[in-house]
Amino acid sequence: MHARSTLTRLVWLFLLGTSLAWGAPALQGPATANIGAVIPVSFTGSDNPRDFISIVPKSTPEGKYDAYEYATKSGKVELRVPATPGDYEIRLLAASSPYPTLARVPLKVVAVTATLEAPAQVAAGANFEVKWTGPNNERDYIAIGNAERPYLVYAYTRGGSPAKLRALDVDGDYELRYFLGNGDKVIATRKLSIGKVSASVTAPAQAAAGAKFQVKWQGPNNPQDFIAIVKAGAPERTYSKYEYTRAGNPVELRAPDAAGDYEIRYLTGQSYATLASTKIAIGAADASVQGPAEAVAGSAFNVTWKGPNNQSDYITVVAKGAREGTSGYYKYSSEGSPAKLIAPLQAGDYEIWYATGQSHTTLAKATIRVTPAKQEPGKLLVTATTAVAAGGGIEIILDASGSMLQKIGGQRRIDIAKQTLTKLTSAGIPAGTPFAFRVFGREVDSCQTDLDIALSPLNAAAVGAKINALEAKNNARTPIGASLEKVSSDLAAVKGERLVVLLTDGEETCGGDPAAAIAALNKAGTTVRVNIVGFAIEDPKLAVTFSHWASLGNGSYFDAKDAAGLSNALTQSLRSSFEVVTAQGQVVASGVTGSEAVSVLPGTYTVRIKGQSSRAQSVTIEPKATATVKL
């Protein structure tokens, strides 16, 4: 609404007089109402949709107004009553300055009462209930507050009585308060004392780098409480590797790969306050690798090694001088020594590394020269007909955590992801395909993961509406492992192949074990394929981690740096991964069906879809020629 000229005001006064002659505008509403309540108001005689209705104190000068609703064609609006008792008026005001009053009716606003019933004392961090009575207006809430802050934690009254609250982690004297949603006015209070809690942690005095060890603990075991290992002297409320206390007692932690002095801490799940700590020394891990000085391009060779053989440690061959965290052809140390590797097809100087599976730290290396093969390699192009075979199903898991609010080219990552996923589900996946959609990262400081769309025939319009409504949240965490653990139940009704597409822009931050979750899916009996799309991943070690996880899940990792890259990556993620195998069972190459041809030395091989021995075919590769296989 803008100021108008004096002429405009005179015109409005004329129109006001005319409208009175035609049939004066009128209002109808309740004579009395409780503070904070929402009341219905009906009106007649207004034909300008920009006219508006407001509740103001009776003494309010003409043309002034408070919160308002436009006078819509329906002839009815709802207004929220002010939070202070007294004499008011409901006014219908004209659309333009000076906003003359077209109609008015009196309204007496009266005070309301509320009661609160709860324990006088609760333990820090504990869940408890508050019985209440009160007006239960929209957005009314029950909260814990103190002298410094009106509310610290709260629950809306619309959840019913009793309200469920969680005590603060910090002991002291507090108040329970009933707040009106309109104006945050307190209409009832009750004292609440939060008591101290104690905890203890017991762990070995030392552990080897990367090794697993057990920690015994005593403590409140409140929701989300956890045991963490941090650098000695690390600031309060910091953590890296951890395990929730709900996992049991003792919990199992994994030592960092870097040697040094550390602390084991019991932290509260609400404010990350340290309740107990103990020291632990992490010793350095030793390793060695021995391989041939030379190997022919594309040939198999053995590497003997010594090392800690911790979970997911691996032996790999990479270009000489490669950046830490690089991974080429590899074998897990758990497969034993010697490890059988395949020399790269490109001749040159390389290195053999023993790398840790946790942080991709190189513990040992040896040089190897790759000499040219006698014959030049050929090409193999592999295609497949469908995303999943008949009887199969697809689940997409989307990361909506706070990092997805960062921008790429002026657009938020989450918006790019939403647009791309909408296109994928409307044009990339056939209608009617059994489909499920899971989202994590929408709750602040939470490891919540939600099945937004339960398994059902794909309806592009319904899925698009769900995707469009998504919003990422700052400070939400990334429960990749927990989300993957849910896949088995999400797709329980699928009897054929289960394709899982995980789209994320960050690492696991909820203490989960995605590799273990993927391994469990493989053991479930039904064919599963896990493809991972990394969006704007800047850490090369994290990209290697995702690649190894996808390989464990008979899938592939796809890296996307921008909107176009994400569209391409998601399209490819619907395709099957394949591998090329020698007669001796050695995998010499792998790729994605329908993508670029892979280079393979001349010979006869078996081409198979990863994890599906029934989808395999023999192929002969000729030098400098391209063979095509359809699986």
Q: Kindly tell me if the per-residue pLDDT of 158 is higher than 50.
A: yes
| pLDDT range class, residue 3, cuts 50, 70, 90 | very low
If you average pLDDT over residues 605-614, what whole number do you get?
89
Higher pLDDT, 2 or 270: 270
Mean pLDDT of the region 235-245:
89
| Structure tokens given for 426 | 């409307």
Give me the residues paired with residue 105 across strands: 90
Beta strands in 420-569 (DSSP E): 434-440, 449-457, 498-504, 528-535, 557-560
pLDDT tens-digit map of 56-80 = 999 999 999 999 999 988 899 999 9
Give the DSSP letter of residue 615: E
Residue, of 88 and 23, whose pLDDT is higher = 88
Percent above pLDDT 70 for the chain: 96
Confidence of residue 24 (pLDDT cuts 50, 70, 90): confident
C-alpha–C-alpha distance, residues 206 and 280, integer Å: 5
Contacts of residues 153-162 at CB distance under 8 Å and 24 or more positions apart, as own/partner, are 154/179, 155/130, 157/132, 161/130, 161/131, 161/132, 161/133, 162/129, 162/130, 162/131, 162/132
Please determine, for residue 8, whether its predicted confidence score (pLDDT) is greater than 80: no
State mean pLDDT over 439-464. Answer: 91
Q: Which two tokens stand for residue 206?
A: 């030392």
Given this model, what pLDDT does residue 525 score?
67
Give per-residue pLDDT as tens, 427-436. 999 999 999 9
Between β-strands 274-283 and 294-296, what pairing exists: parallel, antiparallel or unpaired? Answer: unpaired
Q: Is 114 exposed, middle or buried (0-12, 13-18, 19+ CB in 10 A)?
A: buried
SS3 455: strand
| Residue 13 in this model has a pLDDT that exceeds 60 | no
Give pLDDT, residue 614: 81
Q: Which two tokens stand for residue 356?
A: 């840790």
Amino acid at 532: I
Report pTM. 0.77
CA distance 426 to 462: 10
Read off the pLDDT of each residue in 227-234 and give the average, rounded to a whole number. 96
Residue type, 599: S
For residues 41-57, give the mean pLDDT. 93
The answer to whether 167 and 124 are in contact (CB under 8 A) is yes
611: closest CA among 482, 483, 510, 499?
499
Q: Is the pLDDT of residue 295 over 50?
A: yes
34-72 residues labelled b (16+ CB within 10 A) or e (exposed): bbbbebebebebbeeeebbbbbbeeebeeeebeebeebe
Average pLDDT over residues 49-58: 95
Residue type, position 576, single letter = S
- Tell me the pLDDT band of 314, cut-offs 50, 70 and 90: very high
Q: Confidence class of residue 509 from pLDDT cuts 50, 70 and 90? A: confident
Query: What per-residue confidence (pLDDT) applies to 241?
Result: 85
Q: What is the pLDDT of residue 391?
A: 81
The whole-number pLDDT of residue 7 equals 43
Show Cβ contacts of residue 567 under 8 Å, excluding neighbours closer than 6 positions: 420, 423
Task: Report the distance separating Cα 618 and Cα 10, nearest Å.
Answer: 91
Which is nearest to 43 in space by CA: 75, 77, 78?
A: 75
Span 16-33, average pLDDT: 72
Tens digit of each residue's pLDDT (9 = 90 or more) over 524-568: 766 899 999 999 999 999 999 999 999 999 999 999 999 999 999
Please say if the pLDDT value at position 22 is more than 50.
Answer: no
What does the DSSP 8-state code read for residue 425? I
DSSP state of 544: H
C-alpha torsion sign, points 586, 592, 594, 599: negative
* Cis ω for the linkage preceding 162 (within 30 of 0): yes
Residue 2 is predicted with a pLDDT of 41
- How does pLDDT run across 84-137, given as a tens digit for each residue? 999 999 999 999 999 999 999 999 999 999 999 999 999 998 899 999 999 998
Q: What mean pLDDT value characterizes the chain?
A: 92
Using one digit for the tens of pLDDT, what is the confidence trace for 560-576? 999 999 999 999 999 99
pLDDT value of position 23: 62
Contact 46, 102 (CB under 8 A): yes
Look at residue 9 and tell me whether its pLDDT is greater than 70.
Answer: no
Q: Is the per-residue pLDDT at 18 higher than 60? A: no
Q: Do the Cβ atoms of 440 and 449 come closer than 8 Å?
A: yes
On whether the CB atoms of residues 96 and 105 are closer than 8 A, the answer is no
Q: How far is CA 270 from the centre of its chain?
A: 19
Q: Which domains does the chain have, with CATH numbers?
A: 6-110 (2.60.40.2840), 115-195 (2.60.40.1930), 200-283 (2.60.40.10), 288-371 (2.60.40.1930), 378-383+578-630 (no CATH), 393-576 (3.40.50.410)
Residue 444 confidence (pLDDT): 76
Query: Taking residues 476-502, what's their average pLDDT?
Result: 93
Q: What share of the chain is helix, strand, coil (3-state, %, to 5)?
A: 15, 40, 40
Q: What is the tens place of the pLDDT at every residue in 494-504?
A: 988 899 999 99
Residue 17 has a pLDDT of 44
Which residues is 421 bridged to in the sheet? none
Cα separation, 77 vs 57, whole angstroms: 19
**Is residue 364 scored above 70 in pLDDT?**
yes
Q: In what order do the strands lie in the sheet with 206-208?
A: 206-208, 274-283, 260-267, 226-231, 241-244
> Which residues, other chains included, contact 285 with Cβ-Cβ below 8 Å and sequence gap of 6+?
208, 209, 210, 257, 259, 307, 308, 310, 356, 363
**Is the per-residue pLDDT at 519 higher than 70?**
yes
